[in-house]
Amino acid sequence: MSNYSKVGLTLCVILCLCSGLTAQVSTDAVRSGRMKYFPRLLDEVDVLPQKKNLWVFVMAGQSNMSGRGLVEPSDTVSHPRILTVTPENQWVYAKEPLHLHESRMTGLDCGLAFGRELLKHVGDSVHIALIPCAVGGSSIGQWLGDSLHRSIYLRTSFESKVKFAQAYGEIKGILWHQGENDARFARTDTYENSLIKLVRFFRSYVGNDTLPVIAGELGLNKLSPENQQQRDSINEILWNRANEDRYVEVVRTRDLTTHDHYHFDSPSLRVLGRRYAEQFIKNAEYLFVTE
Protein backbone atom coordinates (compact mmCIF):
# COMPACT_ATOMS: atom_id res chain seq x y z
CA MET A 1 0.00 0.00 0.00
CA SER A 2 1.26 3.46 -0.82
CA ASN A 3 2.40 5.56 2.14
CA TYR A 4 1.48 8.88 0.58
CA SER A 5 -1.65 10.77 -0.29
CA LYS A 6 -2.30 13.08 -3.18
CA VAL A 7 -2.01 16.81 -2.55
CA GLY A 8 -4.88 18.30 -4.47
CA LEU A 9 -3.12 21.35 -5.83
CA THR A 10 -1.63 21.55 -9.27
CA LEU A 11 1.81 23.07 -9.60
CA CYS A 12 0.44 25.72 -11.90
CA VAL A 13 -1.86 26.96 -9.12
CA ILE A 14 1.00 26.95 -6.60
CA LEU A 15 3.16 28.95 -8.99
CA CYS A 16 0.39 31.46 -9.61
CA LEU A 17 -0.11 31.99 -5.89
CA CYS A 18 3.64 32.36 -5.27
CA SER A 19 3.88 35.14 -7.86
CA GLY A 20 0.72 36.96 -6.86
CA LEU A 21 -1.01 36.07 -10.12
CA THR A 22 -4.68 35.11 -10.19
CA ALA A 23 -5.69 31.50 -10.60
CA GLN A 24 -7.66 32.49 -13.69
CA VAL A 25 -4.67 31.80 -15.93
CA SER A 26 -5.63 29.28 -18.60
CA THR A 27 -4.36 25.82 -17.73
CA ASP A 28 -3.53 25.14 -21.38
CA ALA A 29 -1.55 28.38 -21.61
CA VAL A 30 0.32 27.74 -18.37
CA ARG A 31 1.21 24.18 -19.26
CA SER A 32 2.50 25.01 -22.72
CA GLY A 33 6.16 25.71 -23.35
CA ARG A 34 8.48 25.37 -20.38
CA MET A 35 5.71 24.19 -18.04
CA LYS A 36 4.43 21.50 -20.37
CA TYR A 37 5.74 18.60 -18.29
CA PHE A 38 5.41 20.10 -14.82
CA PRO A 39 3.72 17.51 -12.57
CA ARG A 40 0.03 18.08 -11.94
CA LEU A 41 0.02 16.58 -8.46
CA LEU A 42 2.45 16.44 -5.57
CA ASP A 43 2.57 13.28 -3.45
CA GLU A 44 2.44 14.10 0.24
CA VAL A 45 4.59 12.08 2.67
CA ASP A 46 2.48 10.43 5.37
CA VAL A 47 5.26 8.81 7.39
CA LEU A 48 8.76 10.27 7.65
CA PRO A 49 11.83 8.12 8.35
CA GLN A 50 13.69 8.25 11.64
CA LYS A 51 15.47 11.55 12.12
CA LYS A 52 18.93 9.98 11.84
CA ASN A 53 17.97 8.49 8.48
CA LEU A 54 16.69 11.71 6.86
CA TRP A 55 19.75 13.30 5.29
CA VAL A 56 19.02 16.93 4.54
CA PHE A 57 20.77 18.98 1.86
CA VAL A 58 20.17 22.70 1.47
CA MET A 59 20.28 24.03 -2.10
CA ALA A 60 21.53 27.63 -1.98
CA GLY A 61 22.85 30.26 -4.39
CA GLN A 62 21.35 31.81 -7.49
CA SER A 63 19.68 30.73 -10.73
CA ASN A 64 21.89 27.80 -11.71
CA MET A 65 20.98 26.19 -8.40
CA SER A 66 17.31 27.20 -8.46
CA GLY A 67 17.20 25.89 -12.03
CA ARG A 68 16.36 27.25 -15.48
CA GLY A 69 16.30 23.99 -17.43
CA LEU A 70 13.36 22.47 -19.26
CA VAL A 71 11.58 19.79 -17.24
CA GLU A 72 11.04 16.50 -19.06
CA PRO A 73 8.78 13.59 -18.03
CA SER A 74 11.67 11.61 -16.51
CA ASP A 75 12.35 14.53 -14.15
CA THR A 76 8.91 14.17 -12.58
CA VAL A 77 9.23 10.51 -11.58
CA SER A 78 9.49 10.53 -7.80
CA HIS A 79 11.48 8.15 -5.62
CA PRO A 80 10.16 6.93 -2.24
CA ARG A 81 13.42 7.93 -0.55
CA ILE A 82 13.87 11.44 -2.03
CA LEU A 83 11.81 14.16 -0.37
CA THR A 84 11.45 17.93 -0.53
CA VAL A 85 9.26 20.64 0.99
CA THR A 86 6.72 22.91 -0.66
CA PRO A 87 6.59 26.68 -0.02
CA GLU A 88 3.96 25.83 2.62
CA ASN A 89 6.40 23.45 4.39
CA GLN A 90 4.63 20.27 3.36
CA TRP A 91 6.84 17.21 3.00
CA VAL A 92 6.34 15.72 -0.46
CA TYR A 93 8.16 13.25 -2.68
CA ALA A 94 10.54 15.25 -4.86
CA LYS A 95 9.60 15.97 -8.45
CA GLU A 96 11.14 18.64 -10.62
CA PRO A 97 10.93 21.58 -10.43
CA LEU A 98 11.89 21.93 -6.75
CA HIS A 99 12.21 25.73 -6.52
CA LEU A 100 8.68 27.10 -6.86
CA HIS A 101 8.98 30.67 -5.56
CA GLU A 102 10.19 32.25 -8.84
CA SER A 103 7.15 31.18 -10.78
CA ARG A 104 7.87 32.96 -14.06
CA MET A 105 11.36 31.42 -14.29
CA THR A 106 10.94 28.09 -12.50
CA GLY A 107 12.66 25.19 -14.22
CA LEU A 108 14.72 22.05 -13.85
CA ASP A 109 17.51 22.19 -11.26
CA CYS A 110 20.14 19.64 -10.24
CA GLY A 111 18.44 18.46 -7.04
CA LEU A 112 16.64 15.29 -8.08
CA ALA A 113 19.65 14.10 -10.10
CA PHE A 114 21.78 14.67 -6.98
CA GLY A 115 19.42 12.64 -4.82
CA ARG A 116 19.17 9.77 -7.29
CA GLU A 117 22.96 9.48 -7.55
CA LEU A 118 23.54 9.73 -3.81
CA LEU A 119 21.08 6.93 -3.06
CA LYS A 120 23.35 4.55 -5.00
CA HIS A 121 26.03 4.99 -2.34
CA VAL A 122 24.16 4.91 0.99
CA GLY A 123 22.33 2.33 3.07
CA ASP A 124 18.76 1.38 2.28
CA SER A 125 17.47 3.14 5.39
CA VAL A 126 18.73 6.55 4.27
CA HIS A 127 16.29 9.06 2.78
CA ILE A 128 17.40 12.28 1.05
CA ALA A 129 15.67 15.61 1.72
CA LEU A 130 16.28 18.49 -0.68
CA ILE A 131 15.57 21.94 0.74
CA PRO A 132 15.28 24.63 -1.97
CA CYS A 133 16.70 28.02 -0.91
CA ALA A 134 18.35 29.40 -4.06
CA VAL A 135 17.12 32.67 -5.60
CA GLY A 136 18.08 33.77 -9.10
CA GLY A 137 20.19 36.89 -9.55
CA SER A 138 21.38 37.03 -5.94
CA SER A 139 24.89 38.22 -5.07
CA ILE A 140 27.01 36.82 -2.27
CA GLY A 141 26.81 40.20 -0.55
CA GLN A 142 23.02 39.93 -0.52
CA TRP A 143 23.28 36.53 1.14
CA LEU A 144 25.60 37.91 3.80
CA GLY A 145 23.45 40.99 4.38
CA ASP A 146 20.09 39.17 4.47
CA SER A 147 18.91 41.40 1.65
CA LEU A 148 15.34 41.37 0.38
CA HIS A 149 15.74 39.94 -3.11
CA ARG A 150 12.79 38.99 -5.30
CA SER A 151 10.52 39.17 -2.25
CA ILE A 152 12.75 36.86 -0.17
CA TYR A 153 15.10 37.74 2.68
CA LEU A 154 17.92 35.39 1.76
CA ARG A 155 19.47 34.54 5.13
CA THR A 156 16.15 34.61 6.92
CA SER A 157 14.75 32.14 4.40
CA PHE A 158 17.79 29.91 4.83
CA GLU A 159 17.49 30.03 8.61
CA SER A 160 13.78 29.26 8.70
CA LYS A 161 14.12 26.32 6.31
CA VAL A 162 17.11 24.90 8.16
CA LYS A 163 15.26 25.19 11.47
CA PHE A 164 12.23 23.43 9.98
CA ALA A 165 14.31 20.65 8.41
CA GLN A 166 16.35 20.03 11.57
CA ALA A 167 13.17 19.09 13.41
CA TYR A 168 12.84 16.08 11.09
CA GLY A 169 16.32 15.21 9.89
CA GLU A 170 20.04 15.97 9.99
CA ILE A 171 21.67 18.61 7.78
CA LYS A 172 24.42 16.79 5.90
CA GLY A 173 25.58 19.44 3.45
CA ILE A 174 25.09 22.69 1.55
CA LEU A 175 24.89 22.60 -2.24
CA TRP A 176 26.10 26.03 -3.35
CA HIS A 177 26.12 27.49 -6.85
CA GLN A 178 26.52 31.24 -7.08
CA GLY A 179 28.84 33.88 -8.49
CA GLU A 180 27.47 34.83 -11.90
CA ASN A 181 26.06 38.03 -10.43
CA ASP A 182 29.36 38.98 -8.83
CA ALA A 183 31.25 38.15 -12.03
CA ARG A 184 28.85 40.26 -14.05
CA PHE A 185 29.48 43.30 -11.86
CA ALA A 186 33.22 42.63 -11.38
CA ARG A 187 33.08 42.12 -7.62
CA THR A 188 35.66 39.36 -7.61
CA ASP A 189 38.15 41.27 -5.42
CA THR A 190 35.96 40.78 -2.36
CA TYR A 191 34.46 37.41 -3.25
CA GLU A 192 36.86 35.14 -1.38
CA ASN A 193 36.49 36.98 1.90
CA SER A 194 32.72 36.99 1.48
CA LEU A 195 32.70 33.27 0.73
CA ILE A 196 34.73 32.53 3.86
CA LYS A 197 32.22 34.51 5.94
CA LEU A 198 29.22 32.85 4.33
CA VAL A 199 30.55 29.31 4.81
CA ARG A 200 31.28 30.18 8.43
CA PHE A 201 27.69 31.43 8.80
CA PHE A 202 26.23 28.28 7.22
CA ARG A 203 28.16 26.04 9.59
CA SER A 204 27.49 28.17 12.64
CA TYR A 205 23.75 28.26 12.06
CA VAL A 206 23.53 24.54 11.34
CA GLY A 207 25.74 23.85 14.36
CA ASN A 208 28.40 21.82 12.59
CA ASP A 209 31.91 23.20 12.13
CA THR A 210 32.73 20.47 9.60
CA LEU A 211 29.56 20.72 7.53
CA PRO A 212 30.43 19.91 3.90
CA VAL A 213 29.86 22.75 1.43
CA ILE A 214 29.87 21.63 -2.20
CA ALA A 215 30.30 24.51 -4.66
CA GLY A 216 29.87 24.44 -8.41
CA GLU A 217 32.15 26.20 -10.87
CA LEU A 218 30.63 28.97 -12.96
CA GLY A 219 29.96 27.88 -16.53
CA LEU A 220 31.52 29.21 -19.70
CA ASN A 221 30.42 32.48 -21.31
CA LYS A 222 31.74 32.30 -24.86
CA LEU A 223 30.16 35.62 -25.84
CA SER A 224 32.11 37.80 -23.43
CA PRO A 225 35.84 37.29 -22.79
CA GLU A 226 35.70 40.03 -20.14
CA ASN A 227 32.94 38.28 -18.23
CA GLN A 228 34.67 34.93 -18.63
CA GLN A 229 37.78 36.39 -17.05
CA GLN A 230 35.70 37.39 -14.01
CA ARG A 231 34.15 33.92 -13.90
CA ASP A 232 37.59 32.33 -14.04
CA SER A 233 38.61 34.48 -11.07
CA ILE A 234 35.66 33.25 -9.03
CA ASN A 235 36.33 29.64 -10.02
CA GLU A 236 39.92 30.06 -8.89
CA ILE A 237 38.63 31.34 -5.55
CA LEU A 238 36.40 28.28 -5.19
CA TRP A 239 39.38 25.99 -5.73
CA ASN A 240 41.47 28.03 -3.30
CA ARG A 241 38.82 27.50 -0.64
CA ALA A 242 38.70 23.77 -1.38
CA ASN A 243 42.48 23.60 -0.94
CA GLU A 244 42.31 25.53 2.34
CA ASP A 245 39.14 24.02 3.80
CA ARG A 246 38.94 20.24 4.21
CA TYR A 247 35.14 20.34 4.04
CA VAL A 248 34.73 22.37 0.85
CA GLU A 249 34.58 20.59 -2.51
CA VAL A 250 34.23 21.99 -6.03
CA VAL A 251 32.20 20.56 -8.90
CA ARG A 252 33.73 20.98 -12.36
CA THR A 253 31.45 22.46 -15.02
CA ARG A 254 33.75 23.57 -17.83
CA ASP A 255 32.52 20.83 -20.15
CA LEU A 256 28.83 21.54 -19.46
CA THR A 257 26.66 23.54 -21.84
CA THR A 258 24.25 26.43 -21.39
CA HIS A 259 21.22 27.52 -23.36
CA ASP A 260 21.92 31.26 -23.03
CA HIS A 261 25.59 31.55 -21.94
CA TYR A 262 24.41 31.88 -18.33
CA HIS A 263 22.13 28.98 -17.44
CA PHE A 264 22.95 25.30 -17.76
CA ASP A 265 20.67 23.34 -20.08
CA SER A 266 18.72 20.30 -18.92
CA PRO A 267 21.25 17.55 -19.80
CA SER A 268 24.00 19.55 -18.09
CA LEU A 269 21.88 20.08 -14.95
CA ARG A 270 21.40 16.34 -14.61
CA VAL A 271 25.16 15.81 -14.95
CA LEU A 272 25.71 18.63 -12.46
CA GLY A 273 23.50 16.94 -9.88
CA ARG A 274 25.39 13.68 -10.22
CA ARG A 275 28.70 15.49 -9.83
CA TYR A 276 27.50 17.25 -6.68
CA ALA A 277 26.70 13.82 -5.26
CA GLU A 278 30.12 12.46 -6.26
CA GLN A 279 31.89 15.36 -4.55
CA PHE A 280 29.80 14.98 -1.41
CA ILE A 281 30.66 11.28 -1.29
CA LYS A 282 34.34 12.11 -1.75
CA ASN A 283 34.20 14.60 1.12
CA ALA A 284 31.96 12.72 3.51
CA GLU A 285 33.11 9.11 3.29
CA TYR A 286 33.56 9.15 7.07
CA LEU A 287 29.79 9.64 7.48
CA PHE A 288 28.77 6.40 5.80
CA VAL A 289 26.91 4.16 6.31
CA THR A 290 23.69 4.59 8.31
CA GLU A 291 21.88 1.30 8.94
User: What single-letter amino acid sits at 18?
Assistant: C
Domain residue limits, the chain: 44-287
**Predicted pLDDT of residue 139:** 97
**Predicted pLDDT of residue 32:** 52
**Predicted pLDDT of residue 12:** 47
**Predicted pLDDT of residue 284:** 76
Residues 134, 138, 143, 146, CA torsion sign: negative
**Predicted pLDDT of residue 273:** 99
**Predicted pLDDT of residue 103:** 74
Backbone angles phi, psi at 59, to 5 degrees: -95, 110
**Predicted pLDDT of residue 7:** 52
139 Cβ contact partners less than 8 Å away, ≥ 6 residues apart = 178, 181, 182, 185, 187
Whole-angstrom Cα distance, residue 166 to residue 54?
A: 10
Distances 245 to 58, 199, 211 between C-alpha atoms, Å: 19, 10, 11
Enter the CATH code of domain 44-287: 3.40.50.1110
Whole-angstrom Cα distance, residue 176 to residue 229?
A: 21
| Regions in the chain scoring below 50 on pLDDT | 1-5, 8-10, 12-31, 289-291
Is the separation of the CB atoms in 107 and 69 below 8 Å? yes
